[in-house]
Amino acid sequence: MGPVKMLNEIVRGIMKQNASSLEIQDEGCALLMCLHQSPYKETHPTHEPTREHNGIQSLRRLTAAMRQWRDSKDLQIFACIACVEVCKDIGPGATSHFLRATGENLMASVFEAMVNFPVEVQIQDNVWKLIIMDATEAKDVALSSGHITARRGIYKGLSRAILVFANTTLDIRHTMAMWQTLKVLIDQLLFGLQDVTFCLVSFALCLQEWPETRKSHYAVRDAAISAILALLRVVQLPGQSPFRTHSHRENIQSRILQCRLGGMGIITTPFQGPETGGDSIMERVLQYCCSQTVVNVARHGIPNLCRLLDFVGELCRNNMHARLQFVRETNGIAICMLFVRKFILAGRMQVVEHTIDLLKAVCVPSVETQGLRVPEECLLSASLSEFAESSVDKKTTSRYPMLHTRTAQPFEDMNTLPELEACTHLLSFLQVLMGRPEATHHLVETCLAIVYHCCRFNGSGSLVCKKYISDAVAPFVASTADHLDTKMFMFANMLCGEDE
């Protein structure tokens, strides 16, 4: 037995024998915290069952001390930090291993500390870390239905406590940790539906407080966007039918669309409607995308930029008001065309595909909402040149000066692709784009879907070039088995008149 493992057992034994002494429990928690940190943790047993057993015994002592001395702030701080370090030592699924081995729920003890000391930073930070760890289940750990139900009961009301703490401190580090934790709760279906409104207000507050082109501002906004994106994409919430879940998404979309931010990031009257003035959240998010393009930081934040585009796409999906806002207020079509020109030159096809997916969300109705048609104005915009005129740089510089404090190069100085630059409307732009050698199967199929739906409903079939369509599809004929049954070839045949 190694000296550190022996010392662990001695500390646990002393804590067990002196359970009524706050001083000994306090020192014991502090010692266990130290023994599970560097340099001591490197000497722990490497044999996994032994390390897991050692960690579970430490957690048993820590939770017992936390329950007995609920009002001791120092003990709760030491114990929360120690719980995090022990769980790291055990590995993925640590909280579930502890639950199955002892029947006790570690999270119940740390949540109680979180509620009892709502403004104690060290407790809040470490509980949030444990929440993220708790969501990372070990592959061989399967909880019973009773354990799952109990787990959801323990998490009830937790999302509000997290939101209150982060919005009270308004510290960028805490805010980013809050959004990362909330995303975990949403992904695990543990987020409280009653806290949706508070969550969206916090989202608007995040956009107001950290709107600049600094790396830290990008990071906190990305964490917030990721959480709200997960909330919009929830397939089915606990205890709700798919119909109610669809209503839930519409409710979130509506609240986000109604929120207005002041010109310099000050919230004027959230959720009161567009007549109150200010910038919509959709506008602000698209301008964040533009700022990434302008300051030339996108190569370091491609996933960030793609999430921003996906967020706007989720706002527009199955939502008539969002689609109209995208076309009327944000200069969205011109911005998307600009992104494609910019990133296809840089070889960043991931951004190009996400941009075209956004246009599809605006112009193509979803399968699950067959009765909900796309507004005619959105379909017509694809064939009108005024929506393709890119005045984005002048618009963003005049309306969003705080986004352009470190401009590396203006839009008009970019290298361009002449064939794409010559396109006077979105339909011609998409037909030229899908003929590019870089075009993937997904990109061609998405472009064809947009062109088909716009031409079908706005009578602009004369703008379709059959040669462009056939040339774009040709490279995929040989590589696609049963190609006549794929969406790509179905759209191509209909556009070229083979199904008439």
The band of 188, judged by pLDDT with boundaries at 50, 70 and 90, is confident
The pTM for the full model equals 0.81
Give me Rg for the CA atoms of the chain: 27
Give per-residue pLDDT as tens, 27-71: 999 998 888 888 777 666 666 677 788 889 999 999 999 999 999
Task: Show the tokens assigned to 472.
Answer: 């774009």
Task: Label residue 294 by pLDDT band (50, 70, 90).
Answer: low
**Residues 112, 104: Cα–Cα separation, whole Å:** 14
Residue 279's φ and ψ, nearest 5 degrees, are: -95, 140
pLDDT at 499 over 60: no
For residues 263 and 214, give the distance between their C-alpha atoms in angstroms, rounded to a whole number. 18
- Sequence-ordered list of residues with C-beta below 8 angstroms from that of 134, at least 6 positions apart, any chain: 95, 96, 106, 107
Quote the crossing angle between the two packed helices 349-363 and 320-328, to the nearest 10°. 120
Phi, psi of 24 (to 5 degrees): -70, -40
In sequence order, the 6+-apart residues with CB closer than 8 A to the CB of 146 are: none
CA torsion sign for 343, 345, 349, 354 is positive
For tokens 């006077």, the residue is 424
- Confidence category of residue 423, pLDDT binned at 50, 70, 90: confident
CB neighbour burial string for 129-151, b if at least 16 within 10 angstroms, e if fewer:
bbbebbeebeeeeeeeeeeeeeb
pLDDT tens digits for range 457-486: 766 667 888 888 888 888 877 655 544 447
**Letter for the amino acid at 164?**
V
284/280 Cα distance (integer angstroms): 6
H or E element that contains 324:
helix 320-328
In this predicted model, which residue has the larger pLDDT, 351 or 387?
A: 351
pLDDT confidence band for 498 (50 / 70 / 90): very low
Mean pLDDT of 226-243: 71
DSSP label at residue 38 = T
CA distances from 421 to 332, 389, 465 (A): 17, 10, 17
Distance CA 357, CA 310 (A): 8
Burial class (CB in 10 A: 0-12, 13-18, 19+), 10: exposed
Residue 243's pLDDT is 43
Cα–Cα distance, 79 to 111 (Å, whole number)? 12
Cα–Cα distance, 32 to 65 (Å, whole number): 12
- Cis preceding-peptide flag for 365 (omega within 30 of 0): no
Round to whole Å and give the CA distance between 356 and 7.
60
In this structure, the chain runs to a length of: 500
Give the pLDDT score at 76: 94
Q: Is 212 exposed, middle or buried (0-12, 13-18, 19+ CB in 10 A)?
A: middle
Tokens at 52, concatenated: 């897991």
Is the per-residue pLDDT at 389 higher than 80?
Answer: no
